[in-house]
Amino acid sequence: MPFEIHPSWKFMDVMWQLQRWTESCLGLVERTTVICWGIWKNRNEIANERPQFTRESSPNEIKWCPPQLGCYKVNVYGAVSSRRKQVGIGVVIRDSAGEVIAAQSKKLAFPLGVLGSGM
């Protein structure tokens, strides 16, 4: 992200900040909107007791594919532990040769508020 998201921001605050960056980061608003929708959709599926995906139920044939030459690929992962009231996030950036350019992981306090109450 080209800016820091504050915990007190609402969805529209994030979208407003993204709008300011669209000229320099093409597709940022669209990608962020899709990510937010995916989080919302998965949260609703969990809250409504629909089947959850586990490692065992995921296809084994999923594998990482490199980006086009001269591009980078960003992979992210998130995990939630409602028992520990923590979330973890991880990010890895790789080039077209698969070399790690940057990586970071972070453990955070449970920020979900109302969202976490259904978990």
Coil vs helix vs strand at 102: strand
Instruction: For the full predicted model, state whether its pTM sits above 0.85.
Output: no
DSSP 5: P
Domain ranges (residues) in the chain: 1-51, 65-110
Interstrand relation of 86-94 and 73-81 (parallel, antiparallel or unpaired): antiparallel
Q: Which residues contact 16 (CB under 8 A, 6 or more apart)?
A: none
Give the whole-angstrom CA distance, residue 45 versus residue 39: 10
- Burial label, 77 (beta-carbon count in 10 A; 0-12, 13-18, 19+): exposed
pLDDT in tens, the chain (119 residues): 556 777 787 777 777 776 676 666 666 666 777 777 778 778 777 777 666 566 565 556 667 888 888 888 888 888 877 777 778 888 888 999 999 988 888 887 765 554 444 44
